[in-house]
A = this chain, B = another copy of it.
Amino acid sequence: MARPALSKGEMEIARVLWEIGPATVREIHERLPADRAMNFATVQTYLRRIEAKGYASSTISGRVRTYAASAKPRTVIRDAVGELVDRLFGGESLPLVRHLIEQRGIDGEGLAEIRKLIEQLERQEDK
């Protein structure tokens, strides 16, 4: 494996690609959040780089190139989060979880979900 990591900008595009499945440059460009204006050609460049790094593949049909993710979000997320946790928290994930829960508004529903998740894990551990 050992693909070079995706850059922040590349991740943004990759995310859209995971979300809407195989897509053309234009489709991805259109699905970008409105507050994230970006030139069509820029999206094109990102996709080319994402493919070059081995996170996507593409085929051309007619005149249009279609990109498909070839790496799972889970993998990319694992690496990116791992990196952040290492650099900013010395490898400890707990402080990051704490930060997220305390500092970033997670609503009641979200909290409940996490609580259930934890209770479940704790039961497993007890066994």
The interface of chain A, by Cβ under 8 A from chain B, is 8-9, 11-12, 15, 33, 74, 76-78, 80-85, 87-90, 93-94, 96-104, 106, 108, 110-115, 117-119, 121-122, 125
B117 touches A87 (CB 8 A): no
A78 touches B97 (CB 8 A): no
A114 touches B88 (CB 8 A): no
Secondary structure of the A contact surface, majority rule: helix
A78 touches B103 (CB 8 A): yes
CB A69 to nearest CB in B, in angstroms, measures: 14
Known: A15-B88, A80-B88. A97 touches B94 (CB 8 A): no
A100 touches B121 (CB 8 A): no
